[in-house]
Amino acid sequence: MKKLILSSFLILYGIQLSAQSVPLKFGDFDNWLSREVKESAILGGAEKTLYEVTNAKTWERNKPYVNQGGSPWATSNVLAKVAGIVKTNTSVYPEKRGHGYCAKLYSHVEGVKVLGVVNIYVLAAGSLYLGEMREPITSSKNPQAKMAYGVPFKKKPKAVQFDYKVQLSDQSNRVRQNGFSKVRTVQGKDMPDAYLFLQKRWEDEDGNIYAKRIATMTHRFNKNTDWVNDAQFPLMYGDITSHPNFDEKIMGLYAKGDDAVKYAYNSKGKLVPINEVEWGGDDDEPTHLILTFNSSFGGAYVGSEGTTLWVDNVKLVY
């Protein structure tokens, strides 16, 4: 009752109750681990550096990475080992900003040299997300199935807040380039994106994971910007299909068989699709938070070289 009276008093006299912004762990991106990987001799045997968001200091060379230091963040920086051949990709970097660092996500074409000759080109986008990457990557099939999306989470924030900067490619269309099939033009200009989903998950006796979508936020960055600080992106709760800005392809529920379906570890330690079966209601409480930033929005192997997103100071607003 006292809280109600106080709130009424503040509103009556025009005093605004300020929202509370709570930083996500390691979301200031001031702490990074640099890990060294030596690629196979057939590819030239180069020493490559991969970066991970954590305060841990060292990692054994060529050892598959697992999240360290309590960090909930994973990246598209990966160690691949296909048919015994070790290869890496780095698309997410720490970059100096003020007295600390930010995360730079960069879309680029990665060339693979076999015996000194470049014969495979792959479009690699930068991704930074809450979850885990299962290393080593052993094939280029279904990249989503190598990534565990989301972390346990039980609250209901109003918005996600972060600083960002954008540099778009000068290309009018995108390409799909996976290194094995012919390069294909994909209509539409490349853009970075960010999305947040709150889910209520459960698992059946066979290890299949199901979920209700509790809240949704999606955003595509469609213009170049300098740093935009403390930008807030509201979450939409419940069934949003009647919202005027609803886009089924971007905001709709994901299920097994969809190209963009997300994966998570079940209780048996296996990565399985997260089947979103319905929209959550007011009484549903979330169990997991998915938050992802991408330098290109089109999915695996799709984008334009040079598209770049910088991110810093990620918080949730209550």
**Residue 15's pLDDT is what?**
46
**Residue 16's pLDDT is what?**
47
Q: Would you place residue 180 in the very low, low, confident or very high pLDDT band (cuts 50, 70, 90)?
A: confident
CA distance 76 to 35: 14
Q: In this structure, what token pair is assigned to residue 30?
A: 């001031």
**Residue 13's pLDDT is what?**
45
**Residue 10's pLDDT is what?**
44
All domains in the chain, ordered by first residue: 21-317 (2.60.120)
Do 33 and 59 touch, CB atoms closer than 8 A? yes
In the DSSP assignment, the letter for residue 137 is: B
**Assessment of whether the complete model's pTM goes beyond 0.85:** yes
> What average pLDDT does the structure give for the chain?
92
Q: Looking only at Cα atoms, what is the longest distance across the chain?
A: 76
CA distance 267 to 277: 20
For the chain, the straight-line distance linking the first and the last C-alpha, in angstroms and rounded, comes to 21
Q: If you average pLDDT over residues 203-220, what whole number do you get?
A: 98
Whether the predicted pLDDT of 194 surpasses 50: yes
CA distance 215 to 228: 24
Sheet holding 174-176, edge to edge: 184-186, 174-176, 302-303
Question: Residues of 53-73 as b/e, b for ≥16 C-beta within 10 angstroms?
Answer: bbeeeebeeeeebebbeebbb
What tens digit of pLDDT does each residue of 274-290 get?
Answer: 999 999 999 999 999 99
Q: Is 36 exposed, middle or buried, given 0-12, 13-18 or 19+ CB atoms closer than 10 A?
A: middle
Q: Is 79 exposed, middle or buried, given 0-12, 13-18 or 19+ CB atoms closer than 10 A?
A: buried
Would you list the DSSP string of 33-100?
EEEEEEPPGGGT--EEEEEEESS-----TTPPP---TT--EEES-EEEEETTEEEEE--EEEEEETTE
Half-sphere exposure of 44 (CA within 13 A, CB side): 12
What tens digit of pLDDT does each residue of 78-98 get?
Answer: 999 988 899 999 999 999 999
Q: If you average pLDDT over residues 305-313, what whole number do you get?
A: 98
**Residue 114's pLDDT is what?**
73
What percent of the chain clears pLDDT 70, i.e. is strictly above it?
93
Whether the predicted pLDDT of 242 surpasses 50: yes
Among 112-121, 265-274, 302-311, which stretch is predicted with the lowest mean pLDDT?
112-121
